[in-house]
Amino acid sequence: MTTFKITQYCGECDGYGKVADRNPINPGHSLVDCEECDGTGDIAHQEEYDSITDAQNDYPRARFTYVQSPIR
């Protein structure tokens, strides 16, 4: 098994990192950092797969980075 870092666009802000802060009292809204992704626009986690093809099947729109496996 190989550990991959899987990076996906944040679904909350569509990868922009900012969301509109809609204030019902003040109709002019401003952009604030997305809480889901801390303003980065990306959500990343690590998962183990046999190959990158298997990982791509699960996350077709994600980017993948090899993670150095710790020596056991």
Nearer to Zn ion, 10 or 62 (CB): 10
The reply on whether position 42 binds Zn ion by CB under 5 A is no
Where do we find the tokens 């969301």?
Answer: 19
| Stretch near Zn ion under the rule CB under 5 A, chosen from 22-30, 33-41, 49-57, 62-70 | 33-41
11 exposed, middle or buried (CB, 10 Å; 0-12, 13-18, 19+)? exposed
The reply on whether position 33 binds Zn ion by CB under 5 A is no
The reply on whether position 10 binds Zn ion by CB under 5 A is yes
